[in-house]
Each structure stands twice: as C-alpha cells, then as structure tokens.
Structure 1
Amino acid sequence: MAPRKPTLLLFDVDGTLTKARQSITPEMTEFLRSVREHACVGVVGGSDLPKICQQLAGGDEASVHRLCEYVFAENGLVAFKGGEQIHKADLVSQLGDAFLQRFINFTLAHLSKVELPLKRGNFVEFRNGMINVSPIGRSCSQAERDQFVEYDAAHGVRSDLVRALTEQFGDSGLCFCIGGQISVDVFPKGWDKTYSLQFVEKEGFDEIHFFGDKTSPGGNDHAIYEDPRTVGHSVVDPSDTRRQVEELLKLR
C-alpha cells in the first residue's frame, strides 16, 4: 500500500457525514476507516462532544477517537488529538454571567413573540463554547424538525432572529450564524470553526481540506470554508461528501 499522504480531511458532521441530527450509516463509517489509509481524518462540529459521539458512534466516545484522529467539538473549543484532550475554552469566563443573562432574557423575549405552527422545549441551549438558539425548540421530533425546515425556508424565521440579535448585540463581539436545520449559533468572534485550525495548521500537513454543507455566507461552515488555510469543499449531503472525497483521493 502506498504511504499515507500528509493531508488532513476535516469534516462537518450534520449534513456532511450524517443526515441532520441523525446517526452515521455503517457504510459511511467504513468509508471513513478506509479514508484513513490515505489521509488524516478529523471532525469539527458545533455540537458538544456527547452529541457528536451519539451521531458518529452511538455515544461511544472511544470509537469516535478511533475513527477520527482529530475531534473538535463546539467548533474546537473542546479539542482532542489521538483521543487526548488538548484544549478547552469556557464561554462564561469570556462573557460573564451578567451579560449572558441579559442576552438570554432578550432572546427568550424575542422568541415569545414568534408565532409558529408549533413549539416545543429547549429554546436556548447553553454549551461550553456557544449558545444555540432554536425558535421551535430542540425538543422537537424529527417530523416536527422537518416541518420547521419548510416553514423557515418560506418565512425566514431564523434570518429574522439573526437580524434582531445583531441589532441588539452587534457591538458585543458576538457572531450569529444559522446552524443546522432549526437553530442559530451564537459565539464570540473567532470562535467559529476556524478556531480548530490553530491545532492543526502547524502539524506538517501539505493541505487541509474542509467538507461542509452550510458554506454560504451566514452558514456556520462559511468561515472555515473560506479560510486561506483550508481547501474548502461544499457538499449537499453525505453521499456527495463521499463522492468528492473519492475524487480528491483518486479512490475511484
């Protein structure tokens, strides 16, 4: 077998390796294992580590680390290399509780005025490195999630939320990005997915390729997709990810 190339393939999770908020297929898992024979593999997701592990290995963290040499949860605020944690940053120490309470109160007040076909629970999810805001609520079922996707496409619910947050907190040093299917990600500037690149840019890779589905302006993959340190690949679903990787590594 030819020696492995000094190349890193970094993958978004939702919409790239898996369908949104669903588990990876066995076929995709086997494909990633085969890719590791040709290049280094990493994942960078906006979700926290337990959610990433649930999607990629049924909750088995050790299996995720065996599958991916780099695991960057919450955009890299929680970072692993070879199964060892190498970094962790904290949102509370960055912003302070007084500001966070003001932000959460404003966000809940805004969402209380939004009329949707339905709402569920968990509208504001506080994570280690970001706040995830969902107008429908993250407790919705998959069918309810799909219904919201169609409604949001027609009515721009999340775009309106981004505008409201930008008007109120535009001078606070925060970024507001539409993420996944049902939510908006909120984090300090520089804490997007490019945050993860500091841990790999000096690792001796000839190229760092990033694959993501939310690469348009305003999407949570846009910054890393456009970053000069990466070669960006915009995908539409996991099967498209596989096709593009096969073409890149000449596996077909």
Structure 2
Amino acid sequence: MTTSMRIMSKIICLFDVDGTLTAPRQPIKPQVEKFLFETVKKEFDIAIVGGSDISKIKEQLGGGNITEKYKYVFAENGLVSYKEGKKLPSETIQSAIGEDALQDVINFALRYISELKLPFKRGTFIEFRTGMLNISPVGRNSSKEERDQFEEYDRENQIRQKFIQALKKEFPDLLLTYSIGGQISFDVFPNGWDKTYCLRHIQGYDEIHFFGDKTEEGGNDYEIYQSDLTVGHRVTGPEDTVKQLKILSALINEHRAKELSNVPMQCI
C-alpha cells in the first residue's frame, strides 16, 4: 500500500535575540534554550538574526558552537552569516558608501554626542561593525541598571529619535537606514541592509516564521516582520516567544493531521 500526498510544508523559525530569546544583552535562560533544542528543533529548523556582532550573540546564546547548533546564525543583520557552521561571504559598510562619507557620519555623530547633556555618559559611543555603525548616545559600557535608566529617560525625551532626525537632516543624500534596537543605541546601515538582508541566504523553505520584539516602524525588526517573505510574530519577551511557539506548533500539527486524514489511499 502506498500513500499519495503532497509534501508537508518545510518551515524554519527565525529569531531576533535581544527582547525575543533573551532580555537585552543578557544570556539566554536555560529553560528557553532547552525548549528550543528539545522541542522546537524537533519540528522546525531554527535560526538567529541579530544586529549585534557575532561575539555578542555568542555571549548571549551560549558560546562558540552556536553556529553549529542553529541552521543559520546571522550577525549584523546577516552581513556576517553562518550556515551549519560554515561562514558565508559578507560585505562592508565602507565598501557600500565610501570611506569619506563614513568618516563624515562618524565625525558628526561624535560632535553631536559631545553636546548632549544626559544623566550620565560612559564609553564606546560608536561601535564599528562589518555592515553598520552602532551609535549609543550614553555609551555601550553602561551597566544593566544604567541601561534600564537610560531606556526610561529615552522613552520620555526621545534622545535616540532626535539624534536620528539630526543625522537625516545632515546627510539627506546618503542612502542610509537608521534603526532603533535594544535599550541604549541605534544602528546605521545602507538601505536594504536591515534584517531582511539575511533572507537572501535562506533557501528551500515554504514558510519563514520570524519572531521579534522591535516590530514597530523605526524598530530594527520592522522590515523583516513586515516582509512578504516571512510570517511575522510580534513578541514581548522570551516567555512570550515560548508561548507563541507552542501555539504555532499546535496549529501546524492540527493542520498536518487534517491533511493526513484527507489523503487518498491507493492499493497496489
């Protein structure tokens, strides 16, 4: 006896890191990691996309072997990419906009930060990455408590949003995107190099389910959440991600069961 049926949908779950699998800049909780690898991975392929560089993503997700544990790992929105442990080709921001323009942006940002009066400032205000600049008005060396404090201050005073507007006004002809993510910084990168950049590497799936928390316009998950190539899931934190994954799994298993019950059987 053989069964005539169409192939089941092949699905991959693609996760943002900060605010989705972890608290901002914090390590993944053991129960979340266990759920991903002992439950979710049995049903779907799983992948990561973050704006941070690969070293920070490794710190948060459990060390050097993460590129082998996940089907894909995309750092810096996918400008630094790994598939099953193998590094894929990358591009750089300086090759896209030119060294002169890049330095103009950096110099303006440093001057702008020097004139800001904030409750405190720490260090590493501009972090140069492969495909982007990460700019933090308060400094990336802030402690967790200071990050929480600045996030609240920024919510009230729109420090990052005003900074972005100043950059847009100063450089109207540069084809750059400005994207707020996390608690204390925003990213600057060439147009099209948002998180949708990573999708060019993902092949062979019927559905790409993306999970992210900064999905509002201006957030660094917005473009990929809205993309026609993904099924977007807005989450509020790691616990909500787990909850929505359980719902997704139940819905897909219910759909597959219905498909199987409608399969015509053929005797040979």
Instruction: Please report the TM-score for the alignment, with normalisation by the length of structure 2.
Output: 0.89
What amino acid is aligned across from residue 221 of structure 1 in structure 2?
D
| Structure showing greater relative contact order (alpha-carbon pairs closer than 8 Å, 6 or more residues apart) | 2
What amino acid is aligned across from residue 82 of structure 1 in structure 2?
E
Measure, in 2, the Cα distance between the counterparts of 1:181 and 1:147. 9
> What residue number does 1:102 align with?
104
> What residue number does 2:56 align with?
51
Shift of 1:87: 2.2
Aligned pair count reads 245
What amino acid is aligned across from residue 93 of structure 1 in structure 2?
S
What amino acid is aligned across from residue 209 of structure 2 in structure 1?
H
Measure, in 1, the Cα distance between the counterparts of 2:167 and 2:215. 21
The 5 A counterparts of 1:1-252 are: 6-33=10-37, 34-57=39-62, 60-62=63-65, 64-200=66-202, 203-250=203-250
Work out whether residues 76 and 132 of structure 2, in 8 Å CA contact, stay in contact via their aligned partners in 1.
yes
Q: Which aligned segments of 4 or more residues in structure 1 are displaced greater than 4 angstroms?
A: none
Query: What SS is found at the alignment partner of 2:247?
Result: helix
Shift of 1:4: 8.7
Deviations 1:37-60 (A, max 9, x none): 000100000001010000001xx2
What amino acid is aligned across from residue 105 of structure 1 in structure 2?
N
Shift of 1:132: 0.3
Measure, in 1, the Cα distance between the counterparts of 2:8 and 2:170. 49
RMSD, aligned α-carbons: 1.5
Query: What SS is found at the alignment partner of 2:42?
Result: coil
Measure, in 1, the Cα distance between the counterparts of 2:243 and 2:54. 27
Unaligned runs of 5+ in 2: 1-6, 254-268
What amino acid is aligned across from residue 52 of structure 2 in structure 1?
S
Deviations 1:8-33 (A, max 9, x none): 10000000000000000111111110
Shift of 1:192: 0.3
Instruction: Please report the TM-score for the alignment, with normalisation by the length of structure 1.
Output: 0.94
Shift of 1:235: 0.5
